[in-house]
Amino acid sequence: MKTSLINYILKHITLSTEELEGFCNLFNQKDVKKKYFLMREGEVCKFEGFVTKGLFRVYHIDSNGFEQVLYFAQENWWITDIDSFTNETPSQLYIQALEDSEVLLISKKDKEFAYNNIPKIEKLFRIMTQKTHIALQQRMIDNLSKTADQRYLDFIEKYPNLFQRLTNLQIAAYLGISHEFLSKIRRKIASK
């Protein structure tokens, strides 16, 4: 299970065998059954997780009761509520497994230990943070400047494997549109 984490790390930074082993040993494996929650709104997020198997959704429920999916996390992706994790405040998010899943979790204390004892780990998390900011910035630009049709087509193109694993309802919640509107978009595209 930790092999995928090791491969991920080595794509971004170089660590000695000792450093790599020491860092990976800070993670705890957790199996999460389909539909189970890794975290719910109101709880304090006590982990950053690396998905080794399965699929999660990270979402918020707005004041009207609608789900707003921030992102999906499949194999080799990270999951957390960074605000709750960093500031130790109650989360506004839910993290739910969409498939039987496996995840490696690291606590804030262990992450800080890694920062202090394996300095290159800070570089790894800096790179991850930069990539996350770039993706969020692009998503915001797309949401402001592209039609729902364009965003749907972009989603299919950017995440073809992920697209196949999700329901239309889940995709609609990610795109910020209703399930019915997504159905209209799909019919329109199919008729072309």
At 72, which CATH number? 2.60.120.10
Long-range CB contacts for residues 37-42, cutoff 8 Å, separation at least 24: 37/94, 37/95, 37/96, 37/97, 38/79, 38/95, 38/96, 38/97, 38/103, 39/81, 39/91, 39/93, 39/94, 39/95, 40/91, 40/94, 41/90, 41/91, 41/92, 41/93, 41/94, 42/90, 42/91
Q: Using CA atoms, how far apart are residues 73 and 56, in angstroms rounded to an integer?
A: 5
* 168 falls within a domain: no
* 178 falls within a domain: no
Indicate if the pLDDT at residue 27 is higher than 80. Answer: yes
Q: Using CA atoms, how far apart are residues 147 and 106, in angstroms rounded to an integer?
A: 38
Indicate if the pLDDT at residue 191 is higher than 90. Answer: no
Per-residue pLDDT averaged across 169-176, rounded?
Answer: 93
* 128 falls within a domain: no
pLDDT > 70: percent of the chain? 99
Per-residue pLDDT averaged across 22-35, rounded?
Answer: 97
Condensed to tens digits (0 to 9), the pLDDT of residues 93-137 reads 999 999 999 999 999 999 999 999 999 999 999 999 999 999 999
Query: Residue 60: what are its φ and ψ, rounded to 5°?
Result: -125, 150
| Structure tokens that stand for 3 in this block | 């092999």
Number of folded domains that form the chain: 1
* 64 falls within a domain: yes
Query: pTM of the predicted model, to two decimals?
Result: 0.92
Q: Check residue 164 and give its pLDDT.
A: 87
pLDDT > 90: percent of the chain? 89
Condensed to tens digits (0 to 9), the pLDDT of residues 33-71 reads 999 999 999 999 999 999 999 999 999 999 999 999 999
* 59 falls within a domain: yes
Indicate if the pLDDT at residue 192 is higher than 80. Answer: no
* 163 falls within a domain: no
Nearest by Cα to 158 from 144, 171, 177, 173: 171
* 56 falls within a domain: yes
Q: Check residue 29 and give its pLDDT.
A: 96
Indicate if the pLDDT at residue 1 is higher than 80. Answer: no
pLDDT band, very low/low/confident/very high, at 188 (cuts 50, 70, 90): confident
Determine the structural domain holding residue 41 and report its residue range. 2-119
Q: Check residue 161 and give its pLDDT.
A: 87
- Number of Cβ within 10 Å of residue 14's Cβ equals 10
Asked whether 109 and 48 are in contact (CB, 8 A), the reply is no
* 187 falls within a domain: no
Q: Check residue 23 and give its pLDDT.
A: 96
